[in-house]
Structure 1
Amino acid sequence: MRGVRRWTALITTAAATLAAGLLVLAPTAAFAAEGCTVDYKAPSQWPGGFTANVTVTNLGAPVDGWTLAWTFPSGQRVTQAWNAVVTMSGAQVTAKNVGYNGAIATNASVSFGFNGSWSGTNTDPTAFTLNGVLCDGGVGGPTTPPTTTPPPGGGPDPMATVAAMQPGWNLGNSLDSVGADETAWGNPRVTQALIQNVKAQGYKSIRVPVTWDGHQGAGPGYAIEAAYLTRVQEVVNWALAADLYVVLNIHHDSWIWIADMQANHATVLARYNAIWTALAQRFQNTSPRLLFESVNEPQFNNVDDATAYGLLNELNTSFHRIVRASGGANATRILVLPTLHTNADQGRLDALNATIGALDDPYLAATVHYYGFWPFSVNVAGYTRFNAEVQQDLVGTFDRVHNAFVSRGVPVLIGEYGLLGFDAHTGTIEQGEKLKFFEFAGHYARQRNVTLQLWDNGQHFGRTSFQWSDPELFAMLKASWTVRSGTASSDQVFAERASAVTDKTLTLNLNGTAFRGLRQGTTSLVQGTDYTVSGDQLTIKAATLRRLLGSNPAYGVRANLHAEFSQGAPWRISVVSFDTPLVQNATGTTASFAVPTQFRGDQLATMEAKYADGSNAGPHDWTSFKEFSRAFQPDYAAGAIRLTPDFFAAVADGRAVTLTFHFWSGRTVAYHVTESGGNVTGSTT
């Protein structure tokens, strides 16, 4: 990640996984089962094949993530599954939840099915375990998650170490800054107090990105500036003293000079090796809680993927050789290897798997980055909500890294995660939709046994205030480390001033929790009087809304309610007074044009741009919906919607463009702009 980033079916069948013979271990966070029953039925059978349905009822405490295991008594095989990921090892079967059915409340049930094959007899299995607990109808104490066997050599257990690093945090835009020193990108110097406060927030690991380019001497030695190396060591030692795990890497050098490796092979490799030789020597006997990451977001100019994979393999192999040869604690220090671009596409994962297999070293971990489904992450193409497609992108990514590495005993660090829109404006993604993303990311990371390290370039946790810029986001993040939180279809209800107030209904996303009530501040609202709940439908009564809004309410948020659930963070619901926004005629230039806007309590969700013939106008012309902040941005304080120079650079001179502003209330407003010779005219008609 950089200060300004350079852009570069939930129903699962398990045939490929079955063919690989992989056994999926239950995630450590899921071991909350205390008792259960299983109803196994095979209603359809034919020569050589059958269909089975399995219903699991949880009798104990709520389960967040489940794994059901059994042994087939007659050698049957599972060939296809739905509503679960099913794998086999011999006659042993493991069925694991998919993304949407991982939570089982007390006395609740979940079902899945599969097709299988048999020969001879097809005897039903009778003994099942849920997260290690025998499903015999009794209720006992919670079980303990299984432990892995530490690798030989007396070093740290990589799987246990990476699991203990959850959650993690990035010290972004400091030592990785490109410039004179660590303040070049606007953050203050790192202090020991900052590190201690990160630890106090509950973080277990800190990733320390470092850019070495401006602090490395000339060839042939390419020596690291002594004072800079000492400064890096000081920050690392502060983190270790705070009992944090630490990841130290080579960061923006990846695109500054390492990317030229194909054209400048000898120099790049010499510089790279010089850095790791110096780091290996300096940290030779440092605590094993320090991990080395070979390079951040590796990329190579003007090469195809096959060539890039070879170049990255060469770097990773050289890194491994240098560190291991330095001895001391480095002989068994956990080394973190990235995929190309730290991307989780299958080809990238396969290439890194080949490198890890060839190195044959038990003290390795893999790393990728995840910034969400791109259209949602930057708010383009109309992806304003955390919908099923956005969620499935996350599920698919985490599933792939789990299957590629974790299931084979190689731990995974999601070394950076977040939303790309944060780079431009933390309001690019609507608050509630943002919270849903982070809630689900934390949950599913636990399901797939991967460790998350939040990217923070200073926009989240204050470097001197030690306060969160978005406390609501941090509350959701913190809850996601251990449990799921309930959410709702929206975090806003809009009441139009020009119309009579009516009941407002939201759909609750319980996520395995139970709804406990609705409150305003410390005052609990009365169910049946102030609101009703029917299944997953929460309805706030019109009389309650009128009371909260008051007579002749001003525009904007008039009250905040909070839905409380049996666990996790509460869900805020803002009661908003609004009328349809009004826009006005304007003139300006492509360098500075703004649409005068009376928002009247509403908020802008996205903007469409089309020419008169219906074709798409502006950047990203494959979609009519433009990118938030990059093409347009609301300025609520100034009462304007600003159109950027980037937007007009992609608009044909002299052609009228119809803009449609979409607001979160559901209202739309049309506007027309024409650019001619750098001058812009905007009108409502």
Structure 2
Amino acid sequence: MNGVKRRTRRWIALATTAIATAAVGLGILVPTAAYAAEGCQVDYKIASQWSGGFTGDVKVTNYGESISGWDLAWTFPNGQRITQIWNAKHTSSGDQVTAKNLGYNKSIATDNSVSFGFNGSWSGTNGIPSSFSLNGVVCTGSVTDPTTPPPTGEATAMETVAAMEPGWNLGNTLDAVGSDETAWDNPRVTQELVDNIAAQGYNSIRIPITWDNHQSKTAPYAVEDAYLDRVEEVVGYAIQADLHVLINIHHDSWIWLWDMNTNRTEVEARYEAIWTELATRFRDAPPEVLFESVNEPQFRDVDDATAEGLLNDLNVQFHEIVRGSGGGNATRVLVLPTLHTSADQDHLDALGDTISSLNDPNLAATVHFYGFWPFSVNVAGYTEFNAEVQADIEGYFDRSYDKFVANDIPVIVGEWGLLGFDAHTGTVEQGEKLKFFEYVGYYARQKSLTLQLWDNGQHFNRTTFEWRDTELYDMMEASWTTRSGTASSDQVYVAKSGTVSDVSLDLNPNGTTFQNLRLGTENLVEGTDYTVSGSTLTIKAGRLTSLLGDRDHGVKADLHAEFSQGAPWRISIISYDTPTMSATSGSSGSFAIPTAFNGDQLATMEATYADGTAAGPQNWTTYKEFARAFSPDYSAGNISLPTAFWDDVNDGQKVTLTFHFWSGETVTYYVTESGGNVTGSLS
């Protein structure tokens, strides 16, 4: 008991320091010093300007008492939009913008300044904002008494969840099934990592936590103090970085919780022990710490009706434990999942019944979203972001909105991305991937849903603190506030030995206006290098010829289509020849087809028997799953067919493989597996 009290005192000390920073602008009760901006001055300069874009520099000087945590608000006079920002993060609603401090520049002493910069878009006129407010006080350049009292009271659940957008997941770390957070090959979490996440513009961090290896398997099912200490430490990193934080019970859902129907007494006891410990530990944490009852709840060997009842019981138990612990937990926002965190209507309805029965205004719902499954994993020939994929996004988010948000119950999309990333981030072609992320970000904003990106280390490098795919990040960042233009493709293939002709692409402005086509820092000449007619962009043969140069295979140039706002759209100019394959043989455990890709890229693969029926896994379709049933290796020059493919191929029966490439070329190849040995040929 003494140990618990000491730990609680340590948390209070941390929380008291952090709450003044984390709560600014959220309308929660904080020390008055956070709002003591009795005088301020803003120097706003247009550092550079070009067609459709500009760079702004902003310097904020505080003439009042010291500030710990700041918001600077203004209104753009001519419809300008911020497309990128540094040394601050921002939110916007129409012309209204709020820039907010990062963890490292939250304090402004009296007569001191902070600066930040941004890139923006403009059209017609690029006027200077007429007024700026620092923490709600208009900056006049002189010291005045505050005319607006500081906000009081706590934020509503809707306001809290809205302030969490956008969010990021610390995946495969504290949720790793093993003895240590590094068990799944991610480094230990540091304050530096969390600060860097905040610096990317994220406002919340979801910290998935698996408890099984850190909890006694016998009553009273105590959780290791050292593990609780580590969880508290990482949560402290998030608060120190001015982030909202969401903690949960994670992979336990399929380790022991899913046995609830047959082992109810033990499951409920273990569940109660964990949440009792957490409720005690975080009783006095700031309201920016949220609890999620369980991740992706599922139950073995039961029908959905029974499973819904079991989940209802867990969610009610969670609510009783946390609310009964008092302190900040009496009003803390609690997050309840649907069954499987699915937005199917029956699961939404069941959770809606639970929330209605609890009659608690400080509840939020959570679902997960990984897109239209065939597209998300690239199977059954769904290689493109098409109308069906878009409709799936809209239906999923519409149902979540209609059931909850429209009734003042916020929704957190606690995980989102593409399932194919689990196998390979190249499972979905780059341009098609970017269209998906652009539209999800846009449509979630339309439905007031908070998104928390699933990242198990495949997106943000936790050692170098850099994005592994900067195009993807740029597209996501733009989607937080605006839309980005895209095109029918991000690739233009020109046959190496063929005649170079004009090439046209369909533009998808998405509410923006096409501005120009750029090569590096050079704006190409409209009418000479390219033309635009309606929504059709045509790159002229003469310019393509110069870009192709020696016409060796591969990407010869990257053009960028720039729009009035959002991220630019890359268009790669590629010289190619039809890929070629060679006969080979080998073991089914390591079989790979020697392939000269000749500048081309693989889109998908079909597998059929002689009678035209589907061969291999997913035998309901001839088109196999990318990176599961087949996988290209461009550097090694081969396409591998793993054991998972051969496990579902009839022994001794010839299989026709048809490889579809993004250039539009196809190549046919034949394989036969017998007793674990495979032969491959061109006929």
TM-score, scaled relative to structure 1: 0.78
1:342 aligns with 2:353: no
Q: Residue in 2 aligned with 1:638?
A: 636
Q: Residue in 2 aligned with 1:511?
A: 510
Q: Residue in 1 aligned with 2:63?
A: none
Give the C-alpha shift of residue 156 in structure 1: 2.9
Q: Residue in 2 aligned with 1:684?
A: 682
Q: Residue in 1 aligned with 2:420?
A: 421
Q: Residue in 1 aligned with 2:599?
A: 601
Kindly provide the CA deviation profile for residues 626-667 of structure 1, in whole angstroms up to 9, marking residues without a partner as x. 000100000111110111111111010111110000000010
Give the C-alpha shift of residue 425 in structure 1: 0.4
* TM alignment of 1:225-624, pairs within 5 A: 225-551=224-550, 553-624=551-622
Other structure's SS at 2:320 match: helix
The one-letter code matched in structure 2 to 1:442 is: G
1:627 to 618, 625, 628: 625
Structure 1 residues 388, 63: closer, same or farther in 2, change over 3 A? farther
Query: How many residues are paired up?
Result: 547
Please tell me whether the aligned partners of residues 673 and 683 of structure 1 are also in contact (alpha carbons under 8 angstroms): yes
1:673 to 671, 674, 679: 671
Q: Residue in 2 aligned with 1:78?
A: none
* TM alignment of 1:1-12, pairs within 5 A: none
Other structure's SS at 1:631 match: coil
Please tell me whether the aligned partners of residues 256 and 267 of structure 2 are also in contact (alpha carbons under 8 angstroms): yes
Give the C-alpha shift of residue 589 in structure 1: 1.4
Please tell me whether the aligned partners of residues 123 and 564 of structure 2 are also in contact (alpha carbons under 8 angstroms): no
User: 1: distance between equivalents of 2:217 and 2:582?
Assistant: 59
Please tell me whether the aligned partners of residues 62 and 512 of structure 1 are also in contact (alpha carbons under 8 angstroms): no
User: 1: distance between equivalents of 2:81 and 2:210?
Assistant: 43
Kindly provide the CA deviation profile for residues 596-644 of structure 1, in whole angstroms up to 9, marking residues without a partner as x. 1110000000000011101111100110000001000001111101111
The one-letter code matched in structure 2 to 1:474 is: Y
Give the C-alpha shift of residue 592 in structure 1: 1.0
The one-letter code matched in structure 2 to 1:267 is: E
User: 2: distance between equivalents of 1:246 and 1:387?
Assistant: 35
Kindly provide the CA deviation profile for residues 519-545 of structure 1, in whole angstroms up to 9, marking residues without a partner as x. 100001000000000000000001101
The one-letter code matched in structure 2 to 1:451 is: T
Give the C-alpha shift of residue 217 in structure 1: 1.4
Other structure's SS at 2:673 match: strand
Q: Residue in 2 aligned with 1:163?
A: 162
Q: Residue in 1 aligned with 2:215?
A: 216
Other structure's SS at 1:372 match: coil
Other structure's SS at 2:555 match: strand
Kindly provide the CA deviation profile for residues 318-359 of structure 1, in whole angstroms up to 9, marking residues without a partner as x. 000000000000000000000000011000000000000000
User: 2: distance between equivalents of 1:671 and 1:220?
Assistant: 60
Kindly provide the CA deviation profile for residues 563-598 of structure 1, in whole angstroms up to 9, marking residues without a partner as x. 000000000000000000001111011111111111
Please tell me whether the aligned partners of residues 502 and 538 of structure 2 are also in contact (alpha carbons under 8 angstroms): yes
Other structure's SS at 2:672 match: strand
1:663 aligns with 2:639: no
Other structure's SS at 2:206 match: strand
Other structure's SS at 1:199 match: helix
Give the C-alpha shift of residue 461 in structure 1: 0.5
User: 1: distance between equivalents of 2:596 and 2:321?
Assistant: 62
User: 1: distance between equivalents of 2:577 and 2:436?
Assistant: 29
User: 2: distance between equivalents of 1:641 and 1:554?
Assistant: 22
User: 1: distance between equivalents of 2:445 and 2:590?
Assistant: 46
**Unpaired segments of 5 or more residues in structure 2?**
1-76, 83-91, 95-121, 125-129, 132-151
Q: Residue in 1 aligned with 2:100?
A: none
User: 2: distance between equivalents of 1:260 and 1:409?
Assistant: 34
Please tell me whether the aligned partners of residues 81 and 565 of structure 2 are also in contact (alpha carbons under 8 angstroms): no
Please tell me whether the aligned partners of residues 156 and 332 of structure 1 are also in contact (alpha carbons under 8 angstroms): no
The one-letter code matched in structure 1 to 2:174 is: L
What RMSD, in angstroms, separates the aligned Cα atoms of the two structures?
A: 2.1
User: 2: distance between equivalents of 1:200 and 1:290?
Assistant: 19
**Unpaired segments of 5 or more residues in structure 1?**
1-58, 68-104, 108-140, 143-152
Please tell me whether the aligned partners of residues 619 and 646 of structure 1 are also in contact (alpha carbons under 8 angstroms): yes
Give the C-alpha shift of residue 173 in structure 1: 0.5
Give the C-alpha shift of residue 62 in structure 1: 9.4
The one-letter code matched in structure 2 to 1:615 is: T
User: 2: distance between equivalents of 1:543 and 1:586?
Assistant: 42
Please tell me whether the aligned partners of residues 166 and 205 of structure 1 are also in contact (alpha carbons under 8 angstroms): yes
Other structure's SS at 1:240 match: helix
The one-letter code matched in structure 2 to 1:329 is: G
Identity among equivalent positions (%) equals: 65
User: 2: distance between equivalents of 1:227 and 1:275?
Assistant: 14
Other structure's SS at 1:446 match: helix
The one-letter code matched in structure 1 to 2:548 is: L
Please tell me whether the aligned partners of residues 480 and 568 of structure 1 are also in contact (alpha carbons under 8 angstroms): yes
Q: Residue in 1 aligned with 2:61?
A: none
Give the C-alpha shift of residue 468 in structure 1: 0.4
Runs of 4+ with >6 A deviation: 62-67
Q: Residue in 1 aligned with 2:6?
A: none
Other structure's SS at 2:238 match: helix
User: 2: distance between equivalents of 1:218 and 1:538?
Assistant: 64
Give the C-alpha shift of residue 464 in structure 1: 1.5
Give the C-alpha shift of residue 218 in structure 1: 3.3
User: 2: distance between equivalents of 1:228 and 1:216?
Assistant: 9
Give the C-alpha shift of residue 281 in structure 1: 0.2
The one-letter code matched in structure 2 to 1:606 is: T
The one-letter code matched in structure 1 to 2:489 is: S
User: 2: distance between equivalents of 1:371 and 1:414?
Assistant: 10
Give the C-alpha shift of residue 106 in structure 1: 9.9
The one-letter code matched in structure 2 to 1:540 is: I
The one-letter code matched in structure 2 to 1:605 is: A
Other structure's SS at 1:575 match: strand
Kindly provide the CA deviation profile for residues 422-473 of structure 1, in whole angstroms up to 9, marking residues without a partner as x. 0000000000000000000000000000000000001110112100000110
User: 2: distance between equivalents of 1:225 and 1:263?
Assistant: 26
User: 1: distance between equivalents of 2:181 and 2:123?
Assistant: 51
User: 2: distance between equivalents of 1:613 and 1:470?
Assistant: 42
Give the C-alpha shift of residue 66 in structure 1: 12
Give the C-alpha shift of residue 554 in structure 1: 1.3
The one-letter code matched in structure 2 to 1:607 is: M
Please tell me whether the aligned partners of residues 504 and 537 of structure 2 are also in contact (alpha carbons under 8 angstroms): yes
The one-letter code matched in structure 1 to 2:537 is: L
Please tell me whether the aligned partners of residues 239 and 246 of structure 1 are also in contact (alpha carbons under 8 angstroms): yes
